């Protein structure tokens, strides 16, 4: 099967596709299958004391990715080993996740920003690091949403609850906001994540 990736997404290479567990033939079937897997993961993650206690550790982040994609991809929860069109060099993933963990702890202990901005900045860093072969945006958005959930606040809307995994204006706006955050300007990404 050949899967055409959305613009701005990491293309799935033939070796990556060998890790596909179910017999699927189209991108639409894959999207629907992954979404069911992710919905199960959300329910488990919201009840998880492990994630609530230590969401940003490498162990928790890989476990969450595995929960999200374990019925879809054999490589779920494993850090990527090849360079992709997005993300840092694979050998830097663990170190950069450790830096994110330390930074997030500092931000929280010193009240550097309010919870929504804190969650959005963590999402951005996870997407920029791009630790997994695929699903990094969805993983990062779920991490941000779990931060909000565990903090007792409303979940982020990510462009008004419209799907940003599909081609279109909402996805383009999201990708543009991520690029601006890459340059240090988080304003647009914050507005996007909080939009009605």
Tokens read off for 107: 């931000």
> In whole angstroms, what is the distance from residue 125 CA to residue 136 CA?
11
CATH of domain 14-194: 1.10.3290.10
- pLDDT number for residue 49: 96
- pLDDT number for residue 31: 85
Dihedral class, residue 32 (left if φ above 0, else alpha if ψ from -120 to 50, else beta): alpha
Provide the 8-state DSSP code for 196: -
116: number of CA atoms within 13 Å, CB side? 15
Model confidence over 142-174: pLDDT tens digits? 999 999 999 999 999 998 866 676 668 888 999
Dihedral class, residue 57 (left if φ above 0, else alpha if ψ from -120 to 50, else beta): beta
Domain residue extents for the chain = 14-194
For the entire predicted model, the pTM comes to 0.90
> In whole angstroms, what is the distance from residue 115 CA to residue 194 CA?
12
Q: In this structure, are residues 93 and 131 in contact, taking their beta carbons and an 8 Å threshold?
A: yes
Q: What residues in the chain have per-residue pLDDT under 70?
A: 1-12, 16-17, 161-163, 165-167
Provide the 8-state DSSP code for 90: G
What is the four-CA torsion angle of 111, 50, 156, 163, rounded to 10 degrees?
150
């Amino acid at each position: 099967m050949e899967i055409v990736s959305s613009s701005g997404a990491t293309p799935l290479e033939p070796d990556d596709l060998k890790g596909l567990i179910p017999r699927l033939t189209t991108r639409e079937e894959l999207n629907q299958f992954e979404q069911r897997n992710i919905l199960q993961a959300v329910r488990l993650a919201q009840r998880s004391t492990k994630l609530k206690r230590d969401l940003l550790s490498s162990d928790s982040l890989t476990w969450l990715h595995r929960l999200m994609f374990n019925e879809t991809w054999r490589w779920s929860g494993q850090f990527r080993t090849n360079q992709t069109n997005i993300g840092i060099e694979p050998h830097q993933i663990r170190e950069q996740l450790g830096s994110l963990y330390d930074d997030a702890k500092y931000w929280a202990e010193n009240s550097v920003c309010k919870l929504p901005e804190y969650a959005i900045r963590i999402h951005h860093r996870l997407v920029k690091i791009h630790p997994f072969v695929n699903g990094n945006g969805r993983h990062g958005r779920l991490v941000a949403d779990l931060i909000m959930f565990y903090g007792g606040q409303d979940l982020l809307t990510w462009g008004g609850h419209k799907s940003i995994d599909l081609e279109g204006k909402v996805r383009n706006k999201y990708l543009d906001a991520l690029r601006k955050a890459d340059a240090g300007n988080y304003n647009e990404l914050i507005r996007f994540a909080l939009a009605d």
